[in-house]
Structure 1
Amino acid sequence: MTTLRPQHISANEADYGRDGVIQVNGLFTAEEMNTVRAAFTVLVHQDRKTLGAEDDIDPGDILSRYPRFMQPHRRTDLEVGRIARRLMTDSRLLDTVQRLIGPAHGAQSMFYFKPPTARGQAMHQDNYFLRAHPETCLAAWIAVDDCDAANGALSVVPGSHAMEVVCPEEADAEESFTSGLVRPPAGMRARQTSMRPGDVLFFHGSLVHGSLPNTTTDRFRRSLIFHYVPQSSLEIASWYLPLVAPDGSDRTIPVASGGGPCGDAWPGAAH
């Protein structure tokens, strides 16, 4: 990806059908994000293996110290798990989610630390991994820190949600800690987001999006991400089961073939 200037992302839900993405600022308070940040930071310093997705990263890679945490909402024995499950079903999120895709279940939670010098994540489409059918998933990407181009904030390609989910090409291992790359459709350009703690980006499962490396020396770009699927979904990849209903209970639907954790890391420690 090339350097991109921040551009306005609509906050109007009516524009979601056109763009496949909206940004809602101030959905959560800075104090709430302080609590989230503190809990996940304590855990990664105590035991980064508990929820860490990548266990074979080169020890010299900063992401070996700060791996992304996957599905924390399933670990209600941990403070981060209780926080994630509570926020996944928070009415402030669900109200917007359900206005965009109708009644929904939670499918995934992730926490990214993205410390200074960390690689980004190549452009991709989320539903390639979730395999929600017959509709698609919806991401709610919550900024925990101030994030912009310098520390690797998300870039999105408005309108790309209209394309099919495609098989990824190979990404640039120098820039991306994940191995797959999806190029934006011809004539469409990525927009660089800029967000404050508590802002939320909602986007369609086919939307092409990704991020560049964190080029700062002293700024993390932490984020908490949830994925949702319509309650009418007929199947989903097994990694995402059980789903979480709005009342917090578990729900199960048939398993789709393929899919897996959102974003495949490079195999082995070579990168």
Structure 2
Amino acid sequence: MTILRSQHISASEADYDRDGVVQVNGLFTSKEMDTARAAFTEQVRHDRAALGARDGLAPGDILSRYPRFMQPHRRADLEVGLLARRLMTDRRLLGVVERLIGPAYGAQSMFYFKPPTARGQAMHQDNYFLRAYPETCLAAWIAVDHCDAANGALSVVPGSHTMEVVCPEVADTEESFTTGLVRPSAGLRTVQTSMDPGDVLFFHGSLVHGSLPNTTCDRFRRSLIFHYVPRSSVEIASWYLPLVAADGTDRTIAAASGGGPCGDT
């Protein structure tokens, strides 16, 4: 099984409905990705604490030097914040999002550096964390570098979006910097992605996906990720509020109470 790679999303909607994932190549230019790479690299060198996630990493872990950046679009005082909000609401990206889930709000932005030797992230489902309701979230995963198996590109399980959001098991922390692991339903196959800068992978909030460690000695696997929810959503976990409308302004809906099926996350 392969993921459909297309320049035109109109050829991919049925595949998204079937597989829960579609890759659109060349949505952004390599020059735009050069700009993003330079801006986020400068930010992590200048002040990684401003946006870095609190993942409880040991000081010697390479990911403590290159932490994942969370919600940069909320930082209008930073270059990376302005860039993230601009791309989150870019019509090229929103055009695909709207074809797949209808009118939408932006809910999250993230930037992953994944330097050489960094651990991957165990298989998981995004809506376990977002708790968007009554529908689910949609991820737009943008390759900033060339991504392949060697430097820890995403692996996805087409068809797993039909699963319920399930309780994670304990992950192998030798390979994953996160501790939760979701196993896909029996009979579904894992597909390794390969992407060039500017390619975008769109996938459903219940789709099982993750990545293995970066085994190269000289290649980063940087990526910029946005999550969206339908404008018809009535609640979402409070971490993701306020949402972002297509015009760049903030919107608020109810905060989801409690946690997912396994409690708070």
What TM-score does the superposition give when structure 1 sets the normalisation length? 0.92
Q: Which amino acid aligns with 1:9?
A: I
Q: Which amino acid aligns with 1:142?
A: I
Q: How many residues align?
A: 256
Which residue number corresponds to residue 9 of structure 1? 3
SS at match of 2:225: strand
Mapped partners of 2:63, 2:81: distance in 1: 21
Mapped partners of 2:93, 2:13: distance in 1: 13
What percentage of residue pairs aligned between the two structures are identical? Answer: 81
Could you tell me whether the CA contact under 8 Å between 1:54 and 1:64 is conserved in 2? no
**Cα-to-partner distance string for 1:222-271 (whole Å, 9 max, x where unaligned):** 000000000000100000000000000000000102459xxx99xxxxxx
Mapped partners of 1:138, 1:183: distance in 2: 20
SS at match of 1:106: strand
Shift of residue 104 of structure 1? 0.1
Q: What 5-or-longer segments of structure 1 have no aligned partner? A: 1-6, 266-271
Which residue number corresponds to residue 229 of structure 1? 229
Which residue number corresponds to residue 132 of structure 2? 132
Mapped partners of 2:173, 2:34: distance in 1: 32
SS at match of 1:33: helix
**Cα-to-partner distance string for 1:89-127 (whole Å, 9 max, x where unaligned):** 000000000000000000000000000000000000000
Instruction: Summarize the Cα distance change of 1:55–1:156 in structure 2 as closer, same or farther, 3 Å threshold.
Output: closer
Alignment pair present for 1:113 and 2:107: no
SS at match of 2:98: helix
**Cα-to-partner distance string for 1:166-218 (whole Å, 9 max, x where unaligned):** 01011000000001000011001110000000000000000000000000000
Q: For 1:21-60, what aligned pairs fall within 5 Å after superposition?
A: 21-54=21-54, 56-60=56-60
SS at match of 1:23: strand
SS at match of 1:77: coil
Alignment pair present for 1:246 and 2:240: no
Which residue number corresponds to residue 82 of structure 2? 82
Shift of residue 82 of structure 1? 0.2
Could you tell me whether the CA contact under 8 Å between 1:241 and 1:252 is conserved in 2? yes
What TM-score does the superposition give when structure 2 sets the normalisation length? 0.94
Mapped partners of 1:178, 1:208: distance in 2: 15
